[in-house]
């Protein structure tokens, strides 16, 4: 299962320097729902190597504001505590998996 990020734990996890993917989403967002199964599959597949999780923009706004999230879904990719990539909008599993592999 994908990790659940919030304003407090996201900053702590990013600061560890681990490879991290954060999916910014909302319950009412159709494209978010279409990529949700892909995010879950990748979270399971890369468990222990990449921390992959979800951040509900309706539950928290600080992190979304800090990274200038204007559209959802947006996925942010972190390595060594730094933002290294982003994907805005719905996409394919192949594209997301390639970006996850680049974090390893």
Annotated catalytic residue within 19, 22, 29, 57 = 29
For residue range 58-83, list pLDDT tens digits in order.
998 899 999 999 999 999 999 999 99
Domain extent for 65: 3-102
Domain count, the chain: 1
For residue range 91-101, list pLDDT tens digits in order.
999 999 999 99
Annotated catalytic residue within 2, 14, 21, 32 = 32
Residues shown for the chain: 104
CATH number assigned to the domain comprising residue 13: 3.40.30.10
Mean of per-residue pLDDT scores for the chain:
96
The yes-or-no answer on residue 26 being catalytic is: no
Show the CA angle centred on residue 5, arms to residues 43 and 19, nearest 5°.
Answer: 50
The yes-or-no answer on residue 32 being catalytic is: yes
DSSP state of 17: T
């Amino acid at each position: 299962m994908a990790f659940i990020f919030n304003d407090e734990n996201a900053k702590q996890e990013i600061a560890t320097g681990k490879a991290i993917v954060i999916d910014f989403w909302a319950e009412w967002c159709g494209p978010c729902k279409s990529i949700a199964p892909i995010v879950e599959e990748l979270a399971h597949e890369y468990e222990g190597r990449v921390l992959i999780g979800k951040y509900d923009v309706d539950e928290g706004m600080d992190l979304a504001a800090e990274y200038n999230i204007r559209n959802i879904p947006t996925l942010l990719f972190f390595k060594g505590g730094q933002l290294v990539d982003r994907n805005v909008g719905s996409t394919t599993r192949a594209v997301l998996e390639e970006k996850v592999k680049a974090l390893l």
